[in-house]
Amino acid sequence: MNSLSAKNVTLRRGGRALLADVSVAFRAGELGVILGPNGAGKSTLLRVLAGALRPDAGNAFLDGAPLRDYAPDVLAKRRALLAQENAPWLEFSVEEVVALGRTPHLRGRAWESASDRQICARTLRQVGMDAFHHRRFATLSGGEKQRVHLARVLAQLAVGAVGGSAAASSFLLLDEPVSALDLRHQHTTLALARSLAKRDGLGVIAVLHDLNLALRYADHVVLLADGAVAAAGAPRETLTCELLSRIYGVCARLHCPAGAPCPFVETELPADEDAGVHGFCAVCSRADVAA
């Protein structure tokens, strides 16, 4: 089974530990979600898993081998990172941005082949941006730009390659992929991520803020707090109202109406800050007082 993991990773910046002895593992064929409050180290962990950041201690592993043992172009075909901040000055057209994803596949060739172009057209269709292929990238809205970049990283992993998927052993890392998207596109994007995992066998790892999207789509969640793993596992067992209340500093209530596909979480600020936060679990009818 293909896996992407971090073992005992510590990463310091300016005397502060952004990650402290973090060990996580993600498997191909699953949608993993990293959750946690601001500054918990979610993006940092994702970058370590992508090989974009070198940890001070510990290591990231792809299929059991340290990332640094892979040649950059080999690694580029096995994992792709959709970053949160994107280039401010991009004078490319939409299809040129997507075609950049084919960079590691060109080898000595200067130009994309017909099959490269077909892959790009297909990934643009997957994110619902195919009607925009000739538009100047700079003229798109924030959410549209995010979807074009998603098409670019899909093209990098050759998802939807004609004549067999080369993506089965690849990992797609998404840093807040739905942050700029409207409700419908949040669902279509995560549904796409899930089908890439289930149908194409890709490993997808996404940083999310929305707990309900995590409960709805994730196979596996990792909850980070202060640069350490607070909990990890299947979402329904892991995301208890007690834990969420404590980590996020809000009153969290889990509900599971009859016939709903999954529980949903409702959160609010505590009425009395001094009294602490409360969790209430309507699923198991248990009320907790968190620390």
Q: In the complex with another protein, which residue's Cβ is closer, 78 or 253?
A: 78
Q: In the complex with another protein, which residue's Cβ is closer, 81 or 181?
A: 81
Using CB under 8 A, which residues numbered 139 to 158 contact another protein? 156
How would you class 109 by CB atoms within 10 Å of its CB: exposed for 0-12, middle for 13-18, buried for 19 or more? exposed
Does residue 90 interact with another protein by CB under 8 A?
yes
Q: What's the rounded Cα separation, in Å, for the pair 291 and 282?
A: 20
Is residue 168 helix, strand or coil?
Answer: coil
Could you tell me how many residues of this chain bind another protein (CB under 8 A)?
41
Q: Which of 17, 20, 25, 75 binds another protein (CB under 8 A)?
A: 75
Does residue 100 interact with another protein by CB under 8 A?
yes
- Which range, of 27-35, 84-92, 225-233, 271-279, touches another protein by CB under 8 A? 84-92
Shortest Å distance, C-beta 60 to another protein:
14
DSSP 172-227: EEEESTTTT--HHHHHHHHHHHHHHHHTT--EEEEE-S-HHHHHHH-SEEEEEETT
Q: Which of 111, 164, 258, 273 binds another protein (CB under 8 A)?
A: 111
Q: What's the rounded Cα separation, in Å, for the pair 151 and 122?
A: 9
Tokens of 160: 């939807």
Does residue 104 interact with another protein by CB under 8 A?
yes
Does residue 106 interact with another protein by CB under 8 A?
yes
